Amino acid sequence: MQTASASEAYIDFLLALRLAEDGSKPEALHRLAESLRIQSQDNSASGLAFQLLTEQRANSRLILRGHTGVITHAAYSPDGSKIVTTSADHTARIWDAYSGRQLRPSLQHAARVFTAEFSPDGRRVVTGSEDGTALVWDIETARPIGTPMYLKEGIPLAHFSPDGKLVATLSTDGKVRLWNAETGQPVSPIIGYRGDAVSVAFSPDSAHAVVATSENMADILDAKTGAHLPNPMRQNNLVLTAVFSADGNTVLTASADHTAKIWDARTHLPTGFSFSHGASIEAAAFNHDATRVLTTSLDHTARVWDAKTGEPITPPLQHGAGVVRGAFSPDGNFVVTTAVDRATRVWDATSGEQVFLPIRTPGVASTAVFSPNSSSLMVSEGTTVQVFDIPPTGPTPTWVADLAEYASTQTKYNAHVPDLEKIKRLRLQLLASKDTDPWSTFGRWYFTESGVRPISPWNTITLKQYVDSLIEVGDKDSLQYAAELSQDHPDWVIRIAALRKALGGNPSGTSVLDGTRAGIQKTPSTLAR
């Protein structure tokens, strides 16, 4: 049961959330400061304060730009240092996850590229395309390895096995095949069903693959031969997702019959737990240690469940339309959900509270995935990929409330009067601090001068480096954006103006790697600096 003070802090948080969603962010910060003063720990107000404070100071959000067609998928490398994206422009591209620069020439297919994934060692990428081929690429040379894995239909899914030795593909006509990842040669026949295969995933030991099918069952295959194991796992309607737990002992399925179930991976029998929604469950996922389950449903909700008891941990995570996908952060503290209402939301995986404001995109996001260290969230939609910083999860220092209160006063029309002496002392304290915890790192970032401040709290590239990278790309859009970012630095503006003038004679306005644009788009701050 909540105490009176905890209830008061929660009310302040809810008011702040409403104010921020309505655009009254200075007043929202004031409410967040009040909430954090009442209850500094285990308070969702700290996450929203982090977001609004970051917006106030950020030079730009990291955005990958360069694809000329809609982005179909995006994924991190296992160490989080790189990103691979795929697009309707017939390419996959590899990017530096910290600077947003394209690292290699584009990986070319003859048609739309549906999917890409890094190998477990991070040295290769597998792509699947509408042209009916999957290819494994060496990311250092940007050249294919082995022969193309060819199917007659497009390949919307291609996955490496955890040991990196195999690739599983799923074609648009609902067929599965397993391949040698080094040679590109098949290790199984084409595996078809009376209905369609919907998804395919490997077991952690790479010995098996589980296939979700429209035959109302999940089928387990021997990964060395493609042979069907007996006793498939049956539900009462289409099975839309099937995945192994991290220890390989269980399988989680999600079905259009409104339920998700956990099965014994050895016997293929249900463990007894069923998770229910009011409509089709489009996806289900385990957290890192399989103690929790996330389900997303067309009933407009997602939910986090206890995998051992089958009981809900969170209340329904509400969207305005069907929820089509979701994922846990690698550390298990957060979940992200994407819905047909074109909103991507981040939630506390225990309380079910929104961590910060919804990420709204012109269309439904094609990807929403956390970085391997859980510090960032990558969202792709249209022709761009945005990277958002995720709030710290450790104890919230008391000074965060003071900083939120000060930040709430940084508009001309705000009636609150800041305690400037307190903020000056806080600034000196944080800039002198050698502490490496996330909140101290954030505080130092907030008070660092704009010219040398990284573009976001968990990044290392500075505004100057950012602008220089745009100048190096050198196309019209990149130079225009560099000029926008340089408004407070006249010497930068003069240099960029000369480059833009020199570029004026180039009709195409391009001067980049393999003719593509790999820049970063500015997201303006809502609050005054």
Whole-number pLDDT of residue 1: 44
CA distances for 410 relative to 27, 54, 423, 431, 509, angstroms: 11, 14, 13, 21, 39
Q: Residue holding tokens 């947003």?
A: 100
Cβ atoms within 10 Å, residue 208: 20
Q: Distance between CA 244 and CA 290 in Å, rounded?
A: 9
**pLDDT tens, N- to C-terminus, the chain (529 residues):** 456 688 999 999 999 999 999 989 999 999 999 999 999 888 999 999 999 999 988 767 788 878 989 999 999 999 999 999 999 999 999 999 988 889 999 999 999 999 999 999 999 999 999 999 999 999 999 999 999 999 989 999 999 999 999 999 999 999 999 999 999 999 999 999 988 999 999 999 999 999 999 999 999 999 999 999 999 999 999 999 999 999 999 999 999 999 999 999 999 999 988 999 999 999 999 999 999 999 999 999 999 999 999 999 999 999 999 999 999 999 999 999 999 999 999 999 999 999 889 999 999 999 999 999 999 999 999 998 999 999 998 899 999 999 999 999 876 555 667 778 899 999 999 999 999 999 999 999 999 988 788 888 998 888 888 888 878 878 777 788 788 878 878 999 999 999 998 887 554 444 433 433 333 333 323 222 2
Whole-number pLDDT of residue 122: 97
Radius of gyration of the chain (CA): 24
User: Alpha helices of 417-527 — where are they, by DSSP H?
Assistant: 420-432, 438-447, 463-473, 476-485, 490-503
Cα dihedral 91, 94, 100, 101 sign: negative
For every residue of 84-102, which 3-state class applies, written as one string? EEEECCCEEEEEECCCCCE
Strands 157-160 and 143-150: unpaired
Whole-number pLDDT of residue 61: 76
Whole-number pLDDT of residue 507: 43
Strand, helix or coil for residue 157: strand
Whole-number pLDDT of residue 107: 97
Q: Distance between CA 517 and CA 519 in Å, rounded?
A: 6
The candidate with the shortest Cα–Cα distance to 78, out of 128, 138, 140, 125, is: 125
The candidate with the shortest Cα–Cα distance to 46, out of 325, 4, 54, is: 54
Whole-number pLDDT of residue 527: 27
Enumerate residues 6+ apart whose C-beta is below 8 A from 227.
Answer: 221
